[in-house]
Structure 1
Amino acid sequence: MTKRVCSLVAGLVAAMVMVGCGKKEEPVAAAPAPVVAKAIVIGLDDNFPPMGFRDDRNELVGFDIDLAKEAGKRLGVEVTFKPIDWSAKESELNGKRIDVLWNGLTITEERKANILFTKPYLENRQIVVVAESSGITSKAQLKGKVVGVQDGSSAVDAVQKDEATAKSLKELKKFGDNVTALMDLSAGRLDALVVDEIVGRYYTAKKPRDYRVLEDNFGTEDYGVGTRKDDTELAAKLDKALDDMKADGTAAKISTQWFGKDIVKK
């Protein structure tokens, strides 16, 4: 090989090495940080007074409705409400047909598997409502009786966890909403109804001569706002909004408008 050829080969090799060394890896783009959308859709049972229901003008009103609207203002997002089948609430949420569950949603260990909850904002009990004329005065007397609950509500779990009482019932009858269940109770088709205290007290106060609330209950629980498990930023922002509303008295004001006093959990 001549010196000229050797020089050419050496030059080519050097050039290739320089090109290879000079080539830079393209930087991998970082995943964009999750952001809260400009609008959120809140799923609810629109027949669940006083938390969320339709008034005489068919407009959605309620304690949770007012809280959610105020939180939306503080987050700078548009809030819309979508009535859903409450028994399918987790499917609606995780199927992304709604973004938030905010309607007297009880925090349970079972629900935590599929829902990310905010901190509790209300405390609730599962009470037993009977007709005023009923001879039932305790849970023990529910033996052999037909007891109503709203399908998909925490009342179902509360009754089933009390195994002795649950096994003693003639039937645990499930309804699409508590309003229909109360109508059946008035008509004598039910012996008792297990329902959220906040809802049950609201109805029984309207018709104190028709209904009576037992001293016995099926336990205490907390309400929280639910988001998808991966929606951590939205949940954190909702938590802050709720904390701020408690701190500046807004939550107490809304509570007083609906319940006559501040019952918000601090």
Structure 2
Amino acid sequence: MTLKTFAAAAMAVFTLAATAIPAAADTLADIKAAGEIKVAIDVSHPPYGMLDSSAKETGSDVETAKLLAEDLGVKLTIVPVSGANRVPYLQTNKADVVISSFSVTEERKKVIDYSRPYGLIPVVIAAPKAESIADPKGLDGKSVAVARGTTADIELTKSVKEAGAGANIVRYEDEATADTAVATGQQKIYAGALSSANALIENNPSLDMTVKYEMAAYPMAIGLRKNEPELKAYLDKWVGDNLQNGKLGGIYKTWFKQDLPAEFVK
């Protein structure tokens, strides 16, 4: 092989190697150029996301998304999602970010990135007061309603398996359908976020339900695609700044009637 031929071959190999490495995207620049941010939000999951009497989106996730768009100086477009399709919508570029009661989990971190956490989501088991349920073993032989793909689903599945409890997990496509299933008596036991369980209990006093135990508590953050260093840096700083100035804490207290844990503001 001549020196010239070798050099050409080496350049071809280098070019192939370079193109095999995915270039970092710059969604932040794209958002600013478009003057719009597309945020995935589940608007069937109060108090995080819901429709008011005028069919306008409201809730803690909506207020958080509005604050982000305002600080970016762009228009907010809400992309409705369910618990199960939040990650796919992000990965297929249907949304720029996810702000949708989005708990940080190790499984999700394999395929997406998160901002710095800005809230906390406890997931619990709720059931009629007459039911004797203090831990996963108490679910043996019982049917439990849960929204598919949520952290409640993850924790419920894991905990009953570890406990060897033969629970019948009935998975619904979104939080609203799971809530309705329990409210209408299709299932008596509910797995979900603490705020959702409390709302279900408050709105259906005839069910005589109470929270039985907490399965876990997850930090909540903004979801973004991997390999987005500029956007991640912006979101991390944005969360930190709005925790320090009290705006994110104010949203949390408005909708969840309690202060953020002190460690989030540090």
TM-score grouping bracket, smaller chain normalisation: 0.7 to 0.9
User: Deviation at 1:232?
Assistant: 2.2
Aligned position for 1:169: 166
Alignment partner of 1:110 out of 103, 107, 112: 107
AA partner of residue 109 (structure 2): K
User: Is residue 2:156 matched to residue 1:159?
Assistant: yes
TM-score, normalised by the number of residues in structure 2: 0.80
Paired residues in the alignment total 235
- Give the conservation status (yes or no) of the 8 Å contact 2:41–2:61: no
Q: For 1:168, what is the secondary structure of its paired residue? A: coil
3-state DSSP of counterpart to 2:123: strand
- Cα RMSD after superposing both structures: 2.3
**TM-score when normalising by structure 1:** 0.80
Give matches, 1:52-71, under 5 Å.
Answer: 52-71=49-68
1:207 is displaced (CA, Å) by: 3.9
* Partner SS, residue 246 of structure 1: helix
Contact 1:127 / 1:213 at 8 angstroms: preserved in 2?
A: no
> Which residue of structure 1 aligns with residue 73 of structure 2?
76
Give SS of 2:107's match.
helix
Displacement of 1:211: 4.5
Structure number, greater radius of gyration: 1
Q: Secondary structure in 1 aligned to 2:201?
A: helix
User: Which whole-Å CA distance do the structure 1 matches of 2:82 and 2:179 have between them?
Assistant: 19
CA contact (8 A) 1:137 1:214 kept: no
Instruction: Work out the CA distance in 2 between the residues paired with 1:73 and 1:119.
Output: 19
Q: Which of 132, 137, 150 does residue 136 from structure 1 map onto?
A: 132
2:195 paired residue number: 198
Q: Are 2:83 and 1:48 aligned? A: no
Q: Percent identity?
A: 25
Shift of 1:156: 1.4
Please give the residue correspondences for 1:1-266 in structure 2 after superposition, counting only pairs within 5 Å.
34=26, 35-36=28-29, 37-38=31-32, 39-132=36-129, 134-139=130-135, 140-164=137-161, 167-208=164-205, 210-263=207-260, 265-266=264-265
CA–CA separation in structure 1 for the residues paired with 2:182 and 2:200: 12
User: What amino acid is the match of 2:73?
Assistant: G
Query: Shift in Å at residue 213 of structure 1?
Result: 3.0
| CA drift at 1:46 | 1.3
User: For structure 2, which runs of at least 5 residues remain unmatched after alignment?
Assistant: 1-22
Are the equivalent residues in 2 in contact too, given 1:45–1:86 (CA < 8 A)?
A: yes
Secondary structure at 2:234 match in 1: helix
Q: Which amino acid aligns with 1:151?
A: R
Cα distance change on mapping 1:125 and 1:84 into 2, 3 Å? same
Q: 1:116 to 1:33 in 2, by over 3 A?
A: closer
Q: CA deviation at 1:32?
A: 10
Aligned counterparts of 2:196 and 2:177: Cα–Cα separation in 1: 13
Name the aligned partner's letter for residue 61 of structure 1: T
1:199 and 1:242 map into 2 onto residues whose CA distance is 24
**Counterparts in 2 of 1:233 and 1:205: CA distance versus 1, 3 Å:** farther
